[in-house]
Amino acid sequence: MLIYYGWLSCIAIITIYLLFTDIIERKISNGAVVLLFIICFSFKKDIMNVYWLAPLVIVFFGLFLSYFGVLGGGDTKLFAAYSIAIDPALMPTILVIIGLCGGVLSVIYWLLNKYHLTKQPGIPYAIPIVIGGVIGVLASN
Protein backbone atom coordinates (compact mmCIF):
# COMPACT_ATOMS: atom_id res chain seq x y z
CA MET A 1 0.00 0.00 0.00
CA LEU A 2 2.86 2.36 0.82
CA ILE A 3 4.45 1.71 -2.58
CA TYR A 4 1.11 2.47 -4.26
CA TYR A 5 0.93 5.87 -2.58
CA GLY A 6 4.58 6.47 -3.43
CA TRP A 7 3.82 5.88 -7.11
CA LEU A 8 0.80 8.15 -6.92
CA SER A 9 2.91 10.84 -5.26
CA CYS A 10 5.54 10.60 -8.00
CA ILE A 11 2.87 10.81 -10.69
CA ALA A 12 1.35 13.84 -8.92
CA ILE A 13 4.68 15.67 -8.66
CA ILE A 14 5.59 15.06 -12.30
CA THR A 15 2.07 15.98 -13.38
CA ILE A 16 2.16 19.30 -11.53
CA TYR A 17 5.57 20.09 -13.05
CA LEU A 18 4.29 19.27 -16.55
CA LEU A 19 1.20 21.42 -16.05
CA PHE A 20 3.20 24.45 -14.93
CA THR A 21 5.71 24.20 -17.77
CA ASP A 22 2.98 23.78 -20.37
CA ILE A 23 0.93 26.69 -19.02
CA ILE A 24 3.92 29.02 -18.67
CA GLU A 25 6.19 27.99 -21.56
CA ARG A 26 3.91 25.86 -23.78
CA LYS A 27 6.56 23.13 -23.59
CA ILE A 28 6.41 19.60 -22.26
CA SER A 29 9.73 18.27 -20.97
CA ASN A 30 10.89 15.05 -22.64
CA GLY A 31 12.71 14.01 -19.47
CA ALA A 32 9.61 14.45 -17.33
CA VAL A 33 7.51 12.47 -19.82
CA VAL A 34 10.06 9.64 -19.87
CA LEU A 35 10.04 9.59 -16.06
CA LEU A 36 6.23 9.56 -16.07
CA PHE A 37 6.29 6.68 -18.58
CA ILE A 38 8.67 4.68 -16.36
CA ILE A 39 6.53 5.29 -13.29
CA CYS A 40 3.30 4.38 -15.11
CA PHE A 41 5.02 1.28 -16.50
CA SER A 42 6.19 0.24 -13.04
CA PHE A 43 2.70 0.97 -11.68
CA LYS A 44 1.51 -2.24 -13.30
CA LYS A 45 1.81 -5.15 -10.90
CA ASP A 46 2.18 -7.75 -13.64
CA ILE A 47 4.37 -7.09 -16.68
CA MET A 48 1.94 -9.12 -18.80
CA ASN A 49 -0.83 -6.65 -17.97
CA VAL A 50 1.01 -3.68 -19.42
CA TYR A 51 -1.07 -2.18 -22.20
CA TRP A 52 1.28 -1.79 -25.16
CA LEU A 53 -1.15 -1.26 -28.02
CA ALA A 54 -2.71 2.00 -26.80
CA PRO A 55 0.60 3.92 -26.51
CA LEU A 56 1.66 2.72 -29.97
CA VAL A 57 -1.64 3.78 -31.54
CA ILE A 58 -1.51 7.12 -29.70
CA VAL A 59 2.03 7.80 -30.93
CA PHE A 60 1.09 6.83 -34.50
CA PHE A 61 -1.97 9.08 -34.63
CA GLY A 62 -0.21 11.78 -32.63
CA LEU A 63 2.63 11.93 -35.16
CA PHE A 64 0.05 12.15 -37.93
CA LEU A 65 -1.77 15.01 -36.19
CA SER A 66 1.52 16.73 -35.30
CA TYR A 67 2.58 16.61 -38.93
CA PHE A 68 -0.52 18.57 -39.89
CA GLY A 69 -0.16 20.98 -36.96
CA VAL A 70 -3.30 19.82 -35.18
CA LEU A 71 -1.57 18.53 -32.04
CA GLY A 72 1.82 19.12 -30.48
CA GLY A 73 4.38 16.34 -30.16
CA GLY A 74 4.65 16.84 -26.41
CA ASP A 75 0.92 16.28 -26.00
CA THR A 76 1.20 12.98 -27.85
CA LYS A 77 4.11 11.80 -25.72
CA LEU A 78 2.31 12.80 -22.53
CA PHE A 79 -0.85 10.88 -23.37
CA ALA A 80 1.18 7.85 -24.49
CA ALA A 81 3.01 7.86 -21.14
CA TYR A 82 -0.25 7.81 -19.18
CA SER A 83 -1.89 5.28 -21.50
CA ILE A 84 0.55 2.49 -20.63
CA ALA A 85 -1.20 2.23 -17.24
CA ILE A 86 -4.77 2.78 -18.47
CA ASP A 87 -7.03 -0.22 -19.05
CA PRO A 88 -7.91 -0.32 -22.78
CA ALA A 89 -11.59 -0.74 -21.89
CA LEU A 90 -11.47 2.72 -20.29
CA MET A 91 -9.72 4.40 -23.22
CA PRO A 92 -12.90 5.60 -25.03
CA THR A 93 -14.14 7.20 -21.80
CA ILE A 94 -10.75 8.81 -21.17
CA LEU A 95 -10.71 10.20 -24.72
CA VAL A 96 -14.16 11.72 -24.15
CA ILE A 97 -12.98 13.26 -20.87
CA ILE A 98 -9.92 14.73 -22.60
CA GLY A 99 -12.07 16.01 -25.47
CA LEU A 100 -14.63 17.65 -23.18
CA CYS A 101 -11.97 19.23 -20.96
CA GLY A 102 -10.12 20.37 -24.08
CA GLY A 103 -13.29 21.94 -25.45
CA VAL A 104 -13.87 23.88 -22.24
CA LEU A 105 -10.21 24.94 -22.20
CA SER A 106 -10.47 26.08 -25.83
CA VAL A 107 -13.47 28.28 -25.03
CA ILE A 108 -11.65 29.75 -22.02
CA TYR A 109 -8.57 30.55 -24.10
CA TRP A 110 -10.71 31.93 -26.91
CA LEU A 111 -12.25 34.36 -24.41
CA LEU A 112 -8.84 35.21 -22.92
CA ASN A 113 -7.47 35.95 -26.40
CA LYS A 114 -10.56 37.92 -27.40
CA TYR A 115 -10.12 40.25 -24.43
CA HIS A 116 -6.30 40.25 -24.71
CA LEU A 117 -5.86 38.68 -21.27
CA THR A 118 -3.14 36.27 -22.35
CA LYS A 119 0.10 36.82 -24.20
CA GLN A 120 0.92 33.17 -24.83
CA PRO A 121 -0.08 31.75 -28.20
CA GLY A 122 -1.73 28.35 -28.32
CA ILE A 123 -3.58 26.30 -25.78
CA PRO A 124 -1.84 24.34 -22.98
CA TYR A 125 -3.46 21.05 -23.94
CA ALA A 126 -1.51 19.21 -21.24
CA ILE A 127 -4.28 20.28 -18.85
CA PRO A 128 -7.03 18.05 -20.33
CA ILE A 129 -4.53 15.27 -21.09
CA VAL A 130 -3.39 15.26 -17.46
CA ILE A 131 -6.98 15.25 -16.19
CA GLY A 132 -7.91 12.32 -18.42
CA GLY A 133 -4.62 10.52 -17.85
CA VAL A 134 -4.77 10.71 -14.07
CA ILE A 135 -8.42 9.63 -14.01
CA GLY A 136 -7.54 6.72 -16.31
CA VAL A 137 -4.57 5.59 -14.23
CA LEU A 138 -6.56 5.78 -11.00
CA ALA A 139 -9.56 3.98 -12.48
CA SER A 140 -7.34 1.23 -13.88
CA ASN A 141 -5.57 0.41 -10.61
pLDDT value, residue 48: 64
pLDDT value, residue 103: 96
Cα 101 to Cα 5, 98, 129, distances in angstroms = 26, 5, 8
The conformational region for residue 86 under phi > 0 = left, psi -120 to 50 = alpha, else beta, is beta
Q: What is the pLDDT of residues 103-126, one digit of tens each?
A: 999 999 999 999 888 888 889 999
pLDDT value, residue 122: 85
Instruction: Provide the b/e sequence for 52-90 (b: ≥16 CB within 10 Å).
Output: eebbeebbeebeeebeeeebbebbbbbbbbbbbbbbeeb
CA distance 95 to 32: 22
| pLDDT exceeds cutoff 80 at 94 | yes
Radius of gyration of the chain (CA): 15
Number of domain units in the chain = 1
| pLDDT exceeds cutoff 80 at 49 | no
Within 10 angstroms of residue 127's Cβ, the number of other Cβ atoms is 19
For 1, the domain range is: 1-140
Higher pLDDT, 116 or 51: 116
pTM of the model: 0.91
